[in-house]
Amino acid sequence: MLTSPTRSAIVPYIFVSNPINPKKDTLEATQASKQESVIKTEGFAVFKQDKVIGYLNSEEARAVLWVTDEIDKTVIVVPYQGEDHSIEIINSKTKIKTTLIHGKPEVNLEIKIDANVGSVLGPIDLTKQSVIKDLEKATNATVKKNIEHVLKKVQKSYKVDIFGFGEAFERQHSKEWKTLKKDWEKEFVDLTVHVKVNTTIGEIGMKNKSFQIEMKGNK
C-alpha cells in the first residue's frame, strides 16, 4: 500500500502452514512437509517507518479496506434473529469527508453498499420487505462495528495513520493542514471518526424463502 509522510504502510501478512520441522530431517519427512505446507495470507502487518509494530487479522484487514474504499466484492456474516446469515457485497463506495470543529479535526466516513442475500438460517421470510429492511440495518450495524473496532485498535495500540486521513485533510483543508501536519501523529490518536453505513439489498438469490420456511410450505 502506498505511503506518504503522514500515512504508514500496511502489507499482507504471509505465513506458511505446516512448515518443515528441522528435527525431522529425513528425506521422506522433508518431502511430506513440502507437500503439506501452504503459503497463506492472514490480514495485514502494520509498519511504522521501516519496522513492523503490529498485526491486523483478516476481519480487521477487511475493515481497513472499507475505510480506504478498496472493497470490491466480498461476503460478510451478519447476525439477525439469533442466527448468522451470509450477505454478498456486490458494490461498495466510501467517501471520506474531513472537518474542523473548534479547531479540532474530525472525519466523517460515508459508506454505501449494494448487496444480495447469500444464505439465511432459521424461519426468515425474505418475501417480506420488512425482513429485507431489517437485514439492511443488521448489515449496516455489522460493518460499522467492524470499522469502529479497527479504528480504535489502530489509534490506541499502534498510533499510526494507515487510513490516509491525513492525506484527506491535506486535500480538503490545505491551509489548516500546514499546522495539523506538524503533530499529525498525536492528532490522529485523538481523532474523532463518525461512521455511517447505508446498505441496499437487491436480489435475494435463487430462493425467496429460507430452507425451513420452504420445507414447511411443502408439507
Could you tell me the domains of the chain?
10-217 (3.30.300.210)
Please report the pLDDT score of residue 6 as a whole number.
72
Buried b (16+ CB within 10 A) or exposed e, 84-110: ebebbbeebebebebeeeeeebebebe
The DSSP 8-state label assigned to residue 122 in this structure reads S
What grid cell was written down for 137?
440495518
Q: What's the whole-model pTM score?
A: 0.81
The amino acid present at 73, given as its one-letter code, is K
C-beta atoms surrounding 139 within 10 Å: 24
Please report the pLDDT score of residue 4 as a whole number.
65
Strands (DSSP E) found in the chain:
10-17, 38-48, 51-56, 74-80, 83-101, 104-119, 192-201
Please report the pLDDT score of residue 165 as a whole number.
97
pLDDT per position in the chain (219 positions), as tens?
545 667 887 888 775 555 545 554 544 444 444 445 455 667 899 999 889 999 999 999 999 999 999 998 999 999 999 999 999 999 999 999 999 999 899 999 999 999 999 888 778 888 899 999 999 999 999 999 999 999 999 999 999 999 999 999 999 999 999 999 999 999 999 999 999 999 999 866 544 343 333 333 444
Please report the pLDDT score of residue 219 as a whole number.
45
Map residue 139 onto helix, strand or coil: helix
Instruction: Tell me how far apart the alpha carbons of residues 11 and 4 are, in angstroms, rounded to a whole number.
Output: 15
